[in-house]
Amino acid sequence: MYEFDYTRPTSLQSALEALRGEDVKPIAGGMSIVPVMRHRLARAEALVDLSRIHELKGISEEPSAIRIGAMTNHFTVSRSDIVRAKIPALVQLAGGIGDPLVRNRGTIGGSISHNDPAACYPSSILALGATIHTSKRSVAADDFITGTFSTVLEDGELVVAVSFPVPEQAAYIKFINSSSRFSIVGVFLARHRTGVRVGITGAGHRAFRASALERALNEAFKPDKARSVAISPDALLSDIHGSAEYRAHLIPELTARAVEHCIAGTPGAIV
């Protein structure tokens, strides 16, 4: 790891001031940036630790939505009574991320800002139609992700919180890589009053919405309807964990299982 300066502000304003320097990066839980820097795949002149900024933590109810502060860790989300009552699929998602160390250190803001193509949260913001609140603006989830490890966030801009609309039904199915516990394919399905949204992670170079599955399930919310959809492998990943064709097969199958969980009133599963 390269040498760097380190600051640990206690307010959002002081963090934003510290981030104005050249080649300065924020650190949330450190689950992404620390390994990358340790292997010298990235460097920063300074890190700004956000862990003591209490205004970035916590879960609250909004009209027809729940708001989760960016520095809220996965363990807190997985144990939240508010989240369990309103969007239990998010409890399922958060409780299945990594191991206990990752769940106690990793944060929702760090996850969506880093935007790993196999991370869990990006699929949920797409399926739930979340709004990402930053230190400069509010961004719809559909506009937030721009590519592999890439978002609309500008230098010095921080995620402050995420607002998740409460769906009528939702489920998260995660087909895991058993060593890393990242998704080979993850499907977050949410049924809203306005229609079905399906967020996919792990299968491509970025999380994305499966529009063909959404159209099919808006016609009939049935497992067999999802299984009947053919997914093209052309834009999907092939690696040692599974070919693009294999991932293309998994997407409709896991979506069908998510429909089954919604019908049964259960939040999903890890498979």
Which residue ranges form the domains of the chain, and what is each CATH number?
1-55 (3.30.43.10), 57-270 (3.30.465.10)
Measured distance CA(170)–CA(95) in Å, rounded: 16
User: What is the Cα 167 distance to its own chain's centre?
Assistant: 17
Three-state SS at 196: strand
Model pLDDT, residue 39: 78
Question: Nearest to residue 123, comparing CAs of 56, 57, 182?
Answer: 182
Model pLDDT, residue 4: 87
Across the 271 residues of the chain, what is the mean pLDDT of every consecutive 10-residue run? Answer: 88 96 90 82 88 97 96 98 98 96 96 96 98 98 97 97 98 93 96 98 98 98 98 96 97 98 98 93
What's this model's pTM, rounded to 2 decimal places? 0.96
